[in-house]
A and B are shown apart, each in its own frame.
Chain A
Amino acid sequence: DIQMTQSPSTLSASVGDRVTITCRASQRISSWLAWYQQKPGKAPKLLIYKASSLESGVPSRFSGSGSGTEFTLTISSLQPDDFATYYCQQYDSFFTFGQGTRLEIK
């Protein structure tokens, strides 16, 4: 099984900040990586696919990068609606999710 490790587990930031979340795969997954946002009581929402492609309708302040085993999700200027939990997910071999990063208001 491919393991996905996210860091940090919790991130405190303010509106307007630039934040970065990292995801590491236990083996190479090319660019088969997605990022999701989840709010309490809701299903995950797709933000980024194939490591750096922005899903339709997602604000351009979200961006993704990386390939192989190291990936990042960047939010260029935090908005109030962005405080949520973020997950990475590999789909190179079946599906595996990271443990999540909770983005909270500082």
Chain B
Amino acid sequence: EVQLVQSGAEVKQPGQSLRISCKGSGYNFATYWIAWVRQTPGRGLECVGIIYPGDYDTRYSPSFQGQVSISVDKSISTAYLQWPSLRASDTAMYYCARSYSGVSNPYQPDYWGQGTLVTVSP
């Protein structure tokens, strides 16, 4: 059974760093992209970035470039989303999702994690 299991909810202060995780199981982790998607009531669903564990190809949305970093540890089938310095505007639900690799781009995300709620407040 394919599963993506995310780390638990986080409450942080502005300026703190944070790393959340997404562990895949039940499939060949290296051959599917992992996407990180942010959801907020005001902006809806937004793709933060994607990473291909097979060759570490990483792509960011222009809106998030430089604000976060995405990484992966293939040895434990886990992807990460990291902030060096959180802002209140980072408060959101974050989902990871897997996407099969097309010729040069990922296909539609099919399996999603359960979400990690990040709250940034003084």
Interface size for B (C-beta < 8 A) is 23
Per-position 1/0 for A39-51, Cβ under 8 A of B: 0000111100110
Cβ of A82 under 8 Å from chain B: no
Residue of A nearest to B35 (CB): A95
Residues of B within 8 A of A50 (CB): 108
Complex Cα gap A34–B115 (Å): 20
CB of B43, distance to nearest CB on chain A (Å)? 9
CB of B116, distance to nearest CB on chain A (Å)? 11
Per-position 1/0 for A41-81, Cβ under 8 A of B: 00111100110000100000000000000000000000000
CB of B4, distance to nearest CB on chain A (Å)? 9
The A interface is mostly helix, strand or loop, or mixed, namely loop
Q: Which residues of B contact A (CB under 8 A)?
A: 35, 37, 44-47, 50, 59, 61-62, 95, 97, 99, 105-110, 112-115
Can you list 16 A-B contacts with CB-CB less than 8 angstroms, sorted by A residue number? A43-B95, A44-B45, A45-B112, A49-B108, A49-B110, A89-B45, A91-B99, A91-B107, A91-B108, A94-B61, A94-B105, A95-B37, A97-B44, A97-B45, A97-B46, A97-B47
